[in-house]
Amino acid sequence: MPFTAVRFTDRFWAPRQRVNRERTIPHIDRQNTVTGRIDAFRRDWNPSPEVTRRDGRWNGTVVMFWDSDVAKWIEAAAYSLATTPDPALDARLDAIIALIAERQAPDGYMNTWFLTVDPEMRWANLRDWHELYDAGHLIEAAVAHYEATGKRSLLDVMCRYADYIGATFGRGPGQKRGYCGHPEIELALVRLARATGEQRYHDLARYFVDERGQQPHYFDQEAIARGQPPAQFWARSYEYNQAHLPVREQTEAVGHSVRAVYLYSAMADFAASEGDQQLRDACATIWRHLTTKRMYVMGGIGTSAKNEGFTSDYDLPNESAYAETCAAIGLVFWAQRMLRLGLDRRYTDILELALYNAVLSGVSHDGESFFYDNPLASAGTHHRSEWFACPCCPPNLARIIASLGDYVYAQNEHEAVVHLYAQGSGQFRFGEQDVTLHQQTDYPWDGRVTVRVETGAPASFALRLRVPAWSGAPELLLNGSPVNAPAEGGYLQIDREWIDGDEVVLALPMPVERLYARPDVTPDLGLVALRRGPLIYCVEQADQSVPVERIVLPASAELASEFRADVLDGLVVVTGTALAPTGAGWADDELYRTAPPELRPCPITAIPYYAWDNRAPGKMRVWLPTTGS
- The overall longest dimension of the chain from CA atoms, in Å, is 83
What is the structure's pLDDT at 546? 96
CB 442 within 8 A of CB 470: no
402 phi/psi in degrees, rounded to 5: -65, -30
> CB-side exposure of 34: number of CA atoms within 13 Å?
9
How much of the chain is helix, strand and coil, in % rounded to 5? 40, 20, 40
The set of catalytic residues is 308, 392
Indicate the pLDDT class of residue 472, thresholds 50, 70 and 90. Answer: confident
Residue 59 above 80 pLDDT?
A: no
Residue 58 above 70 pLDDT?
A: no
pLDDT above 70: percentage of residues in the chain: 97
CB 245 within 8 A of CB 212: no
120 phi/psi in degrees, rounded to 5: -70, -10
Calpha distance 110→115 (Å, rounded): 7
3-state secondary structure of 217: coil
Q: Are strands 415-418 and 459-466 parallel, antiparallel or unpaired?
A: parallel
CB 131 within 8 A of CB 121: no
Residue 578 above 80 pLDDT?
A: yes
Contacts of 474 (CB under 8 A, 6+ apart): 447, 467, 492, 506, 507, 508, 509
CA-nearest of 397, 530, 417 to 463 is 417
What angle do the packed helices 153-168 and 185-196 form, to 10 degrees? Answer: 120
What is the structure's pLDDT at 140? 98
Give all domains of the chain, ordered by start, each with its CATH number. 409-507 (2.60.40.1180), 512-627 (no CATH)
Mean pLDDT of 212-238: 96
Q: How far is Cα of residue 53 from the mean position of the Cα atoms in its chain?
A: 34
Residue 54 above 70 pLDDT?
A: no
Calpha distance 434→420 (Å, rounded): 21
Calpha distance 210→166 (Å, rounded): 15
Indicate the pLDDT class of residue 50, thresholds 50, 70 and 90. Answer: low
What is the structure's pLDDT at 627? 87
Residue 257 above 80 pLDDT?
A: yes
What is the structure's pLDDT at 52? 63
Residue 629 above 50 pLDDT?
A: no
Mean pLDDT of 339-351: 96
Calpha distance 473→478 (Å, rounded): 17
Determine if the pTM surpasses 0.95: yes
Residue 156 above 80 pLDDT?
A: yes
Q: Are strands 571-581 and 599-608 parallel, antiparallel or unpaired?
A: antiparallel
What is the structure's pLDDT at 308? 97
Mean pLDDT of 357-386: 98
Kindly provide the residue ranges of all beta strands, DSSP E only, lying in 479-582, ordered along the sequence.
481-482, 487-488, 491-498, 503-507, 512-515, 527-532, 535-540, 553-554, 559-564, 571-581
CA-nearest of 15, 613, 31, 70 to 373 is 613
Q: Are strands 624-627 and 491-498 parallel, antiparallel or unpaired?
A: unpaired
Calpha distance 449→443 (Å, rounded): 8
CA-nearest of 398, 392, 388, 402 to 69 is 392
Mean pLDDT of 312-321: 98
Calpha distance 143→127 (Å, rounded): 26
Considering just the CA atoms, what is the radius of gyration of the chain in Å?
Answer: 25
Looking at the DSSP bridge assignments, the partners of residue 488 are 491
Residue 57 above 50 pLDDT?
A: no
Structure confidence by residue, pLDDT tens digits, 512-536: 999 999 999 999 999 999 999 999 9
What angle do the packed helices 325-339 and 345-353 form, to 10 degrees? Answer: 160
Calpha distance 373→325 (Å, rounded): 6
Mean pLDDT of 61-66: 80
> CB-side exposure of 32: number of CA atoms within 13 Å?
25
What is the structure's pLDDT at 584? 87
What is the structure's pLDDT at 1? 85
Residue 61 above 60 pLDDT?
A: no
Helices (H) and strands (E) in the chain, counts: 15, 22
Residue 237 above 80 pLDDT?
A: yes
Cβ atoms within 10 Å of 9's Cβ, excluding its own: 13
Structure confidence by residue, pLDDT tens digits, 163-204: 999 999 999 999 999 999 999 999 999 999 999 999 999 999
Calpha distance 184→132 (Å, rounded): 8
Residue 38 above 50 pLDDT?
A: yes
Q: Quick one: three-class SS letters along 164-179?
A: HHHHHECCCCCCECCC
How confident is the prediction for the chain on average, in pLDDT?
Answer: 95
What is the structure's pLDDT at 77? 98
Round to the nearest angstrom and report the end-to-end CA distance of the chain.
50
H/E stretch holding 101 reads helix 87-103
